[in-house]
Structure 1
Amino acid sequence: MSTLRKTLIALTSLALVVPIANAKVSSSEAARLKTDLTPFGAVRAGNSDGSIPEWTGGLTTPPPEYQEPGQHHPNPFPEDEVLYTVTSQNMEKYADILTEGQKALFAAYPETYRVPVYQSRRTHAAPDWVYKNTFDNATTAELANKGNGVKKAYGGIPFPLAAQTSKDGLEMYWNHVTRWRGVYLVRRASETAVQRNGDYNLVTSQQEAYFNFYNPKGSAKSLDNMLFYYLSFVKAPPRLAGGAVLVHETLDQVKKPRKAWGYNAGQRRVRRAPTLAYDTPIAAMDGLRTADDTDMINGSPDRFEWKYVGTEEKLIPYNNYMISDPATKYKDLLWAGHINPKFARYEKHRVHVVEGTLKKGKRHIYSKRVMYIEEDSWSAATIDQYDGRGELWRVSMAYLKNFYELPSTWTSLDVFHDLQARRYAVQSMDSEESATTDFSQPIPKSRYFKPSSLRRRGTR
């Protein structure tokens, strides 16, 4: 082999390695987070026709009607009206701002599915200390272990400039997985699988999550590869009440897989759940979502190649306060085929489109995933999933809103559509619960999230 060819091969190999080994940016590049970019790396300016406004700080103050932690969120924009509605009859007019999944839903349910579009409001916001950590992360954070983890990042978005500098889809994946959602929360919510005829059976649980990545007293060095702890206790129906699940979610799951335990109240036994990862079907949801569909997408990214496609303008669920309003009843919300569009709110926002293609030799029920990540919050708003034949199979949607008491952008409802089965699963419904998400509770001690606590707390 010639010296020239050896040199070219070496340079090519180096070029492929550099994005993984050196994702941090310079101080001058990071300074843009205080000028033309938001603290999370989105473009502050609106779009050319004004349909997407300038970001001016987001929604940081609750409306006067919000009185105490755990209260359902009053709609901060009660006077907003629908600007226009996309239907199967006029969807071609709006094709450029619809996702492929939305188009497929129009085709599947032409008589009932519609997208009500409201004024776009860039309400996303976060606390100043999260902004500061994000700024610091920009110049230190790196992908670790061939992209299967993150290092030198803590308490903020790891790669806020991913869309401006590296244009690395894997960095954007991690921005979603590690996004800001508070430190510790307790919530009561319901989930269900809705059958073709509209029938459903609710499962209600109390959920608790401690986001170790955002522990105010921690640091990048103290993380010990632990992203968060999650506890869920079933409250209803009676036949399932008392059952519990505990998850220790690691950051790099190739280095150290997540640990999960289940408690069966009838048997009064705690058992390890070693397969709660990747495409393991969630039995309680009739297999309509996989383990790594939860929270739109989660866990190790190692079975897919992630590519940044570009930033586009799309209609996504946003500022969805009607869905979680106590006046909204589950029987009115849950239609056959899809949720009742009457309660949904869509807005035009810029999204980062990231495509994950199954690696050769790897196994997963999805051959491709296309994520539409909202630019302000790094939340995946919608994801299209393709089967082994390359056909669009499942469509996930997060009905986002601002939890203004934090503040943070998170979901009021996650919906997982199966286009082939014509069924869907719904997670995080809380409009009929006596209380919703409460971020004000004190952080428990570490032993609280040990398997030994499941039997003691998982009672009927």
Structure 2
Amino acid sequence: MIRSRLLLVLAGLLAMGVARADQYRSEVKELDSVPQQAPQKSAQQQLQTTTDPYAKALLLRELAAQAVAKKDYAQASRYLEQALASKALSGIAAEQMRRDLSQLYLAGGDFKRVLPQLEAQVKAGNAAPETLVALGAAYVEQKRFREAVPLLQKGLAAVKSPDASWQRALVAALFGAGQEKEALPVLETLLKRDPSQRDDWMRLAAATIRYGSKERAQAVMELANRMGFLDKPEDRLRLVQLTAQIGAPFEAGSLLQAWMQKGVLKADAANWKLLAGLWIAAREAVPATAALEQALKLQPDAALYRQLGQLRLDREEYAAAADALHKAVQRGGKDGNTLLALGMARYQQADVEGALLAFREAAQFAPARKLAAEWVRYLESGQAREQALAAAAQRRQRGDGGFQLSGRMSGESFALSSGQQASVTLGESGGDPYTPIGADRPGSADGTIPAWTGGLAKGGSPGARLANPYAGDKPLFTITAANAAQYRGRLTPSHQALLARYPGYQMPVYPTRRSVAYPQAIYDATKANVGKARLLGSDALEGAKLGVPFPRPQSGVEVMWNHRTRYRGDSVDAQSTQAVVQASGRLQTLKQIERVAFRYGNLRAPADLSKSNILLYYLTWFGRSRNDTDFLVLVHETANSEENPRDIWVLPPKINKMFRIPPVGYDQPFPGADGLMFVDMIDMYNGAFDRYVWKLTGKREIYIPYNGYRLLDGSVKAPDLLRPGHPRQDVMRYELHRVWVIEALEREGKRHSFGKRVFYVDEDSWNVVLVENYDRQGQPWRFQEGHLLAFYDAQFANTAPVFTYDLKDGRYFANRLNDRDPPPKYGEAMKDSEFLPATVKARYGR
């Protein structure tokens, strides 16, 4: 492992000849006369004719150097052994020759012979670093790892730039001694110097899995995969499993299916079963069903049939569900739950006799007895058949919806159509499948989500309220507590919780309108950002300009940067109302005024991040009116907060002085929100990303608040809108849209009041529209619901109003209410100078 380094040292020692003359000064002898010139003979010839022991020793040293040059280390060792045996050299020269001989033994693998010499040199003290490392390496070869570690550590510490082979010897010793944790920094240093060594990557992965976090281990394995080092099936499966364990089953499933399709992992029953489990965890029923069917073709199994039957049942595919569940029972999977599911599947097909048979069998099992008996009584009542037939007649055929594998980890693009089962088609077909900012252009397979055709055209009058372009739309249906189970696959857990908690809570669902459009300059800039924008860290963006930085996001934090930098007009001057609604219905209201100059998203003069580390300037104040300033805040938001954190100044009430304060954010309370909202919940999420690990879990089709123009056109006043428990829901509008789903888990060593957060990001606008915030015990706590609106007068999208629910105590907070406030002004000229602290103090101070 360290031989290459030792041989270089040894070759230098033996080949330099007179360069080591200072070590042999005691060997100089005075001759009586100058000898005559003789013909030059080779060292071997001279050795045969020379009788002087001292001359023989020097000739033998020269021959050893020649043997080293030929890599004949055994012969070189024999020459030095003969020279030492002559005892013709002084103590200093003999000691150096013994060191050289030790190096040769080590190079030739003769550790048994080298150990005494090396141990003697180390014991004598002041051993050279090479000697320490050589002895340590010899101990590693003999599996004496604990003895090797301190020697190698000492040798490495004595050299400013140690050879990589020395570091690898230390890693081997640490692994052998069971000290893998100490090997982590050594391996990281090695890979920074030379990332091309597969063994280093595999060792780092092994040590990280055991002593680091799963997130870190997954990142190491993913990098090793990108380097092309995961060439063994067990390593590839380890990456798949780690990816799933860190909460990204969609990415894990995409990677596994891609590898199976390409043939680098076997498409056997075990891998199909694993794949099905990943898709189930990712809540992707279509590919999960396909994977289970493939596994069952290869290895029929009662448990797999039961899983398949449950998936089919959840998707209301009752005939296929009944078939799978019946096969599960036939193969020995007869238990109460399976029989209950079989009975329900048969009942939904109006097969009352078959359902009765299943429920009667289920009643024989204690856990299912009570429920099965209730079903039997109902089915024997005489009304069951008619009701089942009527329900079957009204049931609509459910489409599969579109499904696309993630190519983030495999480096390729994959598409799985609704008609396919387990096959995967590489590449893209039929024109550009993406919108100019990176959304999926086609609609869903069942047509519920239409294709994007450009969004709303620019229109409206500046300074006027937006007219509702969809005023003629009627709800398709309304989700209530009574029918929520029917739609649960397209509802967030928080919406399900609100439906269960409040009997009057409802969600009117309208036709999906893909209304969002941006200026052409944003589309052009987004295209130009591809391949240029990158993150130096979670909080450091570079290479992007004006448009969406990452239209093909590869990570959760890239999606969040798209939200953070999305275009919202060059500037905004807005007044709005915010309100805390107590559980009793009591209101506490406050006005908020905001002036924002966007520097990154600015059509007239987009910021160059390489020259100006500013994303935006933000000025806000609160009071009973626009001219009644209770508290003022000025923010300079940066693109690279690792280099320069955001700058913040405050102007407290009744004190005519701007105070610069440390960067605030995270879970510090937002003014006037009664503790319901934190600073980093402004704009759904803002500020640094360093307290969480951001996981991209894939895309989902869910019902989200969209195109709610009625909430801002002045027709619904705040006192009528804000009711106890929740706002008036009959005036809301929800649509089915595709969203990116990001899971944020508290990073190790960091702390936030929310231990976990789940973000739902609209694909057409990169706006975060819903956020589920959990407490540190994993319980649902705060739910943010932003009603997304396409501001077609300025060609951007934003959420207004926003409701933040406390799922524990029944309060909620509403902001960006605009029923009585003047419409916001977008795009007015704002100078950077008006956001200087001195200017702000002069203009707004008292």
Q: Quick check: TM above 0.5?
A: yes
Code of the aligned partner of 1:358:
E
Partner of 1:176: 563
Which residue of structure 2 lines up, in the alignment, with residue 102 of structure 1?
A: 495
Secondary structure of 1:349's aligned partner: strand
Does structure 2 conserve the Cα–Cα contact (< 8 Å) formed by 1:368 and 1:386?
yes
CA distance in 2, matches of 1:32, 1:212: 38
Structure 1 segment 224-303 matched on structure 2, within 5 A: 224-236=612-624, 241=629, 243-303=631-691
Is 1:113–2:538 an aligned residue pair? Answer: no
Residue in 2 that maps onto 1:373: 761
Q: Deviations over 1:101-128 (max 9, x none)?
A: 111212232x221111111000011000
Q: Does 1:211 align with 2:598?
A: yes
Shift of 1:265: 3.8
Q: Deviations over 1:322-354 (max 9, x none)?
A: 111112111011111221112211000000111
CA contact (8 A) 1:46 1:53 kept: yes
Distance 1:32 1:365 in 2: 46
Q: In structure 2, do the counterparts of structure 1 residues 90 and 301 end up closer, same or farther at CA, with 3 Å as the change threshold?
A: same
For residue 453 of structure 1, the aligned residue among 822, 829, 839 is 839
Supply the AA of the counterpart residue of 2:518.
A
Q: Determine if contact 1:354/1:370 at 8 Å carries over to the other structure.
A: yes
What residue number does 1:408 align with? 796
Q: Report what 1:125 is aligned to.
A: 517
CA distance in 2, matches of 1:283, 1:235: 11
Contact 2:726 2:812 survives alignment (8 Å): yes
Change (3 A) 1:7 1:17: closer
Q: CA deviation at 1:170?
A: 1.3
The partner residue of 1:6 within 200, 208, 212 is 200
Q: Cα offset for 1:7?
A: 4.7
- Matching residue of 2:103: none
Counterpart residue type for residue 13 of structure 1: V
Question: Any conservation in 2 of the 1:33–1:40 contact (CA below 8 Å)?
Answer: no
- 1:77-108 C-alpha deviation (Å, 9 max, x unpaired): 11011111111111100000001111121223
Work out which of the residue numbers 482, 505, 508 in structure 2 matches 1:89.
482
Instruction: Provide the residue aligned with 2:438 in structure 1.
Output: 41
CA deviation after TM superposition for structure 1 residue 318, in Å:
0.4
Of 697, 701, 711, the match for 1:309: 697
Identity %: 34
Distance change (3 Å), C-alpha of 1:38 and 1:351: same
Tell me by how many angstroms 1:411 deviates. 1.6
1:149 matches 2:540: yes
Runs of 4+ residues over 6 Å off in structure 1? 31-34
- TM-fit CA distance, 1:268: 2.3
- Given the alignment, which residue of 35, 57, 72 partners 2:465? 72
Given the alignment of the two structures, is residue 60 of structure 1 paired with residue 448 of structure 2, yes or no?
no
Give the equivalent residue in structure 2 for 1:198: 585
CA pair 86-273 structure 1, distance change in 2 beyond 3 A: farther
Deviation at 1:223, TM superposition (A): 5.5
- Structure 2 letter corresponding to 1:192: A
What CA distance in whole angstroms lies between the structure 2 residues aligned with 1:458 and 1:32?
58
Kindly state the Cα deviation for residue 6 of structure 1 after the two structures are TM-superposed.
2.5
The change in CA–CA distance for 1:445 and 1:85 in structure 2 (over 3 A counts) is same
Between Structure 1 and Structure 2, the one with more helix by share is 2
Please give the alpha-carbon distance, in whole angstroms, between the structure 2 residues aligned to 1:397 and 1:184.
24
One-letter amino acid of the counterpart of residue 126, structure 1 = Y
CA distance in 1, matches of 2:752, 2:589: 28
* Aligned twin of 1:419: 807
**Is the contact between residue 203 and residue 234 of structure 1 (CA under 8 Å) also seen in structure 2?**
yes
Once the 2 structures are TM-superposed, how far is the Cα of residue 274 of structure 1 from its aligned partner?
Answer: 2.3
Q: Which residue of 1 aligns with 2:772?
A: 384
SS in 1 for 2:594: strand
In the TM superposition, 1:351-370 aligns within 5 A as 351-370=739-758
3-state secondary structure, aligned to 1:220: coil
Deviation at 1:289, TM superposition (A): 0.7
Aligned length: 443
In the TM superposition, what is the alpha-carbon distance from 1:201 to its structure 2 partner?
2.2
Partner of 1:176: helix, strand, or coil?
helix
Residues 1:273 and 1:345: Cα distance change in structure 2 (over 3 Å): farther
CA separation in 1, counterparts of 2:623 and 2:745? 38
Higher relative contact order (CA 8 A, sep 6+): 1
Structure number with larger C-alpha Rg: 2
Residue 258 of structure 1 deviates from its aligned partner by 1.4
The whole-number CA distance in structure 1 between the counterparts of 2:574 and 2:544 is 28
Q: How much has 1:214 moved relative to structure 2?
A: 1.8
**Structure 1: gaps (5+ residues):** none
Whole-angstrom CA distance in 2 between matches of 1:183 and 1:33: 35
Residues 429-459 of structure 1 show CA distances to partners (whole Å, capped at 9, x for unaligned) of 11111x21111411x2221001112322226
SS of 1:226's partner is: coil
- CA shift, 1:406, in A, is 1.6
- State the distance in 1 between where 2:764 and 2:558 align: 15
Conserved in 1, the CA contact under 8 Å of 2:577 and 2:590? yes
8 Å CA contact 1:246, 1:449 repeated in 2: yes
> Does structure 1 retain, via aligned residues, the 8 Å contact 2:619–2:835?
yes
Is the CA contact (8 Å cut-off) linking 1:154 and 1:220 kept in structure 2? yes
Return the letter of the residue paired with 1:317: P
Q: Is the partner of 1:47 in helix, strand or coil?
A: coil
Give the whole-Å Cα distance in 2 for the aligned partners of 1:70 and 1:131.
26
What is the CA-CA distance between 1:14 and the residue it aligns to?
7.6
State how far apart, in whole Å, the 2-side matches of 1:448 and 1:226 are: 15
Q: Which digits, 9 at most, give the CA deviation of each residue in 1:178-224, with x for residues without a partner?
A: 11111111111111211111111221132111111123323434562
Q: Structure 1 residues 438, 223: closer, same or farther in 2, change over 3 A?
A: farther
Q: Give CA-to-partner distance per residue, 1:216-238, whole Å, 9 cap, x none.
A: 32343456221111111335169
Q: 1:321–1:412: 8 Å Cα contact kept in structure 2?
A: no
* Change beyond 3 A, Cα 1:186–1:238: closer
Instruction: State the match for 2:722 in structure 1.
Output: 334
TM-score, scaled to structure 2: 0.50
Task: Tell me the C-alpha RMSD between the 2 structures.
Answer: 2.7
Amino acid at match of 2:432: T
In 1, Cα distance between equivalents of 2:526 and 2:833: 29
